[in-house]
Structure 1
Amino acid sequence: MAAVGLLVLMPIATLIGIAAEGDAEIWPHLIRNVLPTSIVDTLALLGGIALVAGSMGITSAWLVTAHRFPGRGVLVWLLPLPLAVPTYITAYIYVEIFDSAGLVQMALRNFMGWQSRADYWFPEIRSLYGCILVMSAVLYPYVYIAARAMFLTQSASMLEVARVLGVSRLKLFRVIALPLARPALAVGLSLALLEALNDIGASEYLGVRTLTVSVYNTWLNRGSLPGAAQIACVMLALVVALILIERHGRRDRRYATSAKRSRVVHPAPLSGGRAIVATVLCAIPVFLGFVLPIGFLAREILRGSLFSQFDGEFLEHLLTTIGLSVAATLAVLALAALLVSAARMSKSSLTRSALFVAGLGYTVPGTVLALGLMTPLVKIDGLIGRLWNSFTGERLGLLLMGTAGGIIIAYVLRFLSIATGSLSAGLDRVSPSLEDAARTLGASRREMVWRIQIPLMRPALASAALLIFVDCLKELPATLLLRPLNTETLATQVYTYAARGRFEDGSLAALVIVLISLLPVIQLVRSAEARPKVADTSSAS
């Protein structure tokens, strides 16, 4: 348990050490020339995403939960699907569509007879506002899923009493439903903002100089590892601030409903203009975050006959991507099951602390994590090499740094908290009396884990596996910085095409990423949507 906690803290401690060992002249340069712009852009980006993605997620979640309108049954399934589309792919697509040389502006110039950009005004997609729109269109499902889950579990009787007292539906949402959903909204928003902070492909391509982009440029383009580490420490401070804000948003915000009155809210029908407005408001996020990217990728593949790219090299990149994702997912699940089971049985402060530390990995952006892992991985490789040489007299190459092993370690550290959180929540629903009965019958700890806890955690394990696999599949920053030479995943292949100004040639790789990610997301939606139906049936009977 302690080893897992030390493993998670290792890159953070290394990062701080590298920053402290840097030249004293670097910090003043960063304060004058780098940090002001990067901090302002990062805070503006996060604030804009919180506003836009939060509005999209909350509005659509409330509409499909509390009302019936045309298309609602389909939209309930479509609204979470942008989770399958990485932010960087969406950014590349939006530039191809809305930039000055893109499809929309070319069509406008041809239709109106304009000769150049000087003849008209069009919003600039390569801007802070464009980045906010692009990332919000992909990240709003984090808020939507959290908000819808909370709205579905709110007591119908509480809302019906408010309606009887003459409260309008708008006021009911604003005064009752929204405050009760505040803890879930804080979690959903924090996840969306952490994902935005982790992004490097979208913000770099759209010209927004965030702290993540500054870390990448300072490290690789300017060759200053200490300078990059110092910027990364500022990012960590921002991450800590986000966590504190999220905890503040959830403080003392608990409520309980009677188990005997588990009846959920029944959607009220809308008609006329209100129904049309509700349909449009829910359809806009789906169009921006899913339909438009998928449609563009399909168009480019058919238009450019890109199916010919599906050759041996492409298959190798695909297998590398799936192999890394599967290996990391299995490692995360095994480690998380060990941590959660140990914490469940021991109840000691050490195991609880290790479980808490294991959850910190997701808060560390991939760029920062990769930077912090470099030195430890090199030292571990050196130690293993010396031991091998002393026993065999032969030299041993790198096992972790610059290999698939280093990428898998980064994935495990980053996504371990997803599994520990899901498994902990799953076990918390199990009555301790069941485990007490097993102990009374003489079951050992190993038997407790394999015959009781693991079977009971299977639904949580399945959900965590789907989420982790999708996140590993889409992860770009850590993969980009830790990948072996001449090794490509689908994500790095798309990034390489975009960096060369030929994103359309990477449309096949981008679409494959989305399609593979789509299957786990659909399964998660199916599991989430099945729960309310069970509650309704039981209450009706």
Structure 2
Amino acid sequence: MTAVSETDKYAPKGNRRGRQSGTGVFSFLAWVVALACILPMVAVALAALTGGTETIRHLVDTVLTGYALTTFALVALVSVGTLGIGVGAAWLVTMTRFPGVRLFEIALVLPLAFPAYVLAYAYTFVLDHPGIVQSSLRQVTGWGPRDYWFPEIRSLGGAAVMLVLVLYPYVYLLARAAFLQQSGGAFLAARALGKNAFQAFWLVSLPMARPAIASGVLLAVMETIADFGTVSYFGVQTFATGIYTSWFSMGDRAGAAQLALCLLSFALALAVVERSTRGKARYHQAGKQHAAMPPAELKGWQSGGAWVLCALPVCLGFLLPVIILFNMGLQSEQNLLSRRYIGFLQNSLTLATLAALLTVLAAVCLGFYQRLRPGRTSSTAAYMSRLGYAVPGGVIAVGLMVPFAAFDNALDAWMRANFEIRTGLLISGSIWLLVAAYMVRFLAAALGAYESGQSTVHANMDAAARSLGQGPLGMLRRVHLPMLTPSLLTALLIVFVDVMKELPATLIMRPFNYDTLAVQAYRLASDERLEGAAVPSLVIVALGLLPVILICRQVGRR
């Protein structure tokens, strides 16, 4: 017996055949998108398993243990750092009052505009041996290069600090939302039982916010294992750098696939943990009323300490890097208005625009299919499509390049043998495969924004449209899309800026001589031309501020 959705009951019977046909179109498109999203993972697994045991044995004997230990160490450092800064800042701006607290509520989100690798370029310029800090130290003290100790910025610890400074807002945003939703009853009861403010926070508020905090930390961890620019520039050997080295420097496709499979397994395990944690994030307040938790007024040294603790991550993660990059850009010989840089900008804008449009279109197909046919089938398609957010860009690149490069080579060989025509790299040498990689990587963000807006469209509106003879496409075009315009624009903007900042997939998959701003910044920094790298980096940061401003507006609304 065929199931009939709730809104279908209000539709005229004569329109049901057309409606089912329209639903079938969305079902087909949704599953095409879902299968496209898991294709890189399947391809990586197959390429790794068919790569032979000699390659994996060589990796185990040489670099695999080092990659694993370094990746885990980096993940541990970033987890602790983002947890401490994110939760501490969220509690201070939510549950206390001190001068500037309203400003810090928004300013603490600003470091999200920075890619970690751009922050690495800025701090290397001032903290490295020839930088202004150590040069001034030697000039003032008269010390030689071996007469003093200074923390090494190009190290595992340095990479962790860069990642913490740009990723703690994930924890801050989710923790602050959880604290705002908590009732003050349990907290006040703990205070009435003799607990001080810190004990009440530790024993009551923090456990209630634990699922949201865990989700924020896991998001930061997934971004950490996906990072390539920072660890590559600092010479930290993780799985991400190993994939790129195996693919380009050694020409070992099987080794790259097997390293990618290791990283993919770790990423998917984190995705499962994150989803299960988020699924359990349900707490119910006792009593009939939700009593707002009264913020504590800080005075004296407590107020000053809270101000410093909130100002430090904002200054280190946003204000100081902007000043450094601006000064670096002024000293460089790079001209943003030159034909070469206009080409980089055009390439970046082209890729970001195409990827944003394709990704949002895929999100609409998936989200609307869930709306038309809620159930296990549509939820499975959506879940498969969301897996890409947990998969690093380098893994997606390898997963797409391996099968499509094989297809291009087979087609070229067949055409030459039968028609003496060279087809070249029709797919793997085009920007369209790179755009598809972006869609797989960032579809979860677009789908989340679309579903957030779609939840505000009441089911009665769907029923009214059906009763007036509208099929699925008409209902989407006349009812949903006009109401979801703000959510769709937000999704477009988020994906657009994420693509502008994306580096590993772009490095591996871009067509020959098709460089973007991110690639140019990485190339100049790799050549130790940090002043030049500041110019494209500033453009990336300026564009990254756009979605951060949207987030800040939402943070400002209780």
Structure-1 residue corresponding to 2:344: 317
Structure-2 residue corresponding to 1:96: 125
> Are 2:154 and 1:129 aligned?
no
**Aligned counterparts of 1:166 and 1:409: Cα–Cα separation in 2:** 58
Structure-1 residue corresponding to 2:252: 224
Structure-1 residue corresponding to 2:318: 290
> Residues 255-310 of structure 1: CA distance to partner in whole angstroms, max 9, x if unpaired?
2459985664453321100011111111111112111211111111223464x443
Change (3 A) 1:467 1:266: farther
| Preserved contact between residue 336 and residue 420 of structure 1 (Cα < 8 Å) | yes
Moved more, 244-253 or 180-189: 244-253
Moved more, 192-201 or 149-158: 149-158
Moved more, 295-304 or 40-49: 295-304
> Are 2:136 and 1:107 aligned?
yes
Moved more, 173-182 or 353-362: 173-182
Structure-2 residue corresponding to 1:181: 209
> Are 2:480 and 1:447 aligned?
no
Moved more, 185-194 or 426-435: 426-435
Aligned partner (choices 49, 69, 77) of residue 78 of structure 2: 49
2:377 alignment partner AA: L
**Aligned counterparts of 1:74 and 1:264: Cα–Cα separation in 2:** 21
Change (3 A) 1:166 1:448: farther
Structure-1 residue corresponding to 2:27: none
| Preserved contact between residue 69 and residue 269 of structure 1 (Cα < 8 Å) | yes
**Aligned counterparts of 1:303 and 1:158: Cα–Cα separation in 2:** 57
Aligned ranges for residues 461-540 of structure 1 at < 5 Å? 461-530=488-557, 532=558
**Aligned counterparts of 2:408 and 2:292: Cα–Cα separation in 1:** 56
Aligned ranges for residues 319-398 of structure 1 at < 5 Å? 319-378=346-405, 398=425
How far residue 238 of structure 1 moved from its aligned partner, in angstroms, is 1.0
| Preserved contact between residue 268 and residue 391 of structure 2 (Cα < 8 Å) | no
**Aligned counterparts of 2:410 and 2:365: Cα–Cα separation in 1:** 27
> Are 2:154 and 1:154 aligned?
no
TM-score of the aligned structures, taking structure 1 as reference length = 0.91
Change (3 A) 1:238 1:316: same
Q: What secondary structure sits across from 1:123 in the alignment? A: coil
| Preserved contact between residue 271 and residue 387 of structure 2 (Cα < 8 Å) | no
Change (3 A) 1:388 1:23: closer
> Residues 405-452 of structure 1: CA distance to partner in whole angstroms, max 9, x if unpaired?
122111011101111223223333444333234334443222222233
Structure-1 residue corresponding to 2:4: none
Aligned partner (choices 75, 84, 88) of residue 113 of structure 2: 84
Structure-2 residue corresponding to 1:71: 100
1:58 alignment partner AA: V
Moved more, 6-15 or 437-446: 437-446
| Preserved contact between residue 93 and residue 105 of structure 2 (Cα < 8 Å) | yes
Aligned partner (choices 23, 41, 53) of residue 12 of structure 1: 41
| Preserved contact between residue 336 and residue 342 of structure 2 (Cα < 8 Å) | no
**Aligned counterparts of 1:464 and 1:162: Cα–Cα separation in 2:** 42
| Preserved contact between residue 399 and residue 405 of structure 1 (Cα < 8 Å) | no
| Preserved contact between residue 84 and residue 470 of structure 1 (Cα < 8 Å) | no
| Preserved contact between residue 182 and residue 250 of structure 1 (Cα < 8 Å) | no
Moved more, 408-417 or 447-456: 447-456
**Aligned counterparts of 1:127 and 1:170: Cα–Cα separation in 2:** 35
| Preserved contact between residue 340 and residue 424 of structure 1 (Cα < 8 Å) | yes
2:504 alignment partner AA: P
2:433 alignment partner AA: G
Task: Give the unaligned 5+ runs of structure 2.
Answer: 1-29
**Aligned counterparts of 2:255 and 2:478: Cα–Cα separation in 1:** 51
Q: What secondary structure sits across from 2:53 in the alignment? A: coil
| Preserved contact between residue 110 and residue 545 of structure 2 (Cα < 8 Å) | yes
How far residue 114 of structure 1 moved from its aligned partner, in angstroms, is 0.3
How far residue 94 of structure 1 moved from its aligned partner, in angstroms, is 1.7
How far residue 460 of structure 1 moved from its aligned partner, in angstroms, is 2.7
Aligned partner (choices 32, 40, 43) of residue 3 of structure 1: 32
Q: What secondary structure sits across from 1:197 in the alignment? A: helix
> Residues 85-141 of structure 1: CA distance to partner in whole angstroms, max 9, x if unpaired?
11111112222221222221111111111011x211111112111111111011111
Task: Give the unaligned 5+ runs of structure 1.
Answer: 533-541
How far residue 387 of structure 1 moved from its aligned partner, in angstroms, is 12
Moved more, 284-293 or 154-163: 154-163
What do you get for the CA RMSD once the two structures are aligned? 2.5
Q: What secondary structure sits across from 2:236 in the alignment? A: coil
| Preserved contact between residue 182 and residue 249 of structure 1 (Cα < 8 Å) | no
Q: What secondary structure sits across from 1:208 in the alignment? A: coil
How far residue 206 of structure 1 moved from its aligned partner, in angstroms, is 1.4
Change (3 A) 1:186 1:422: farther
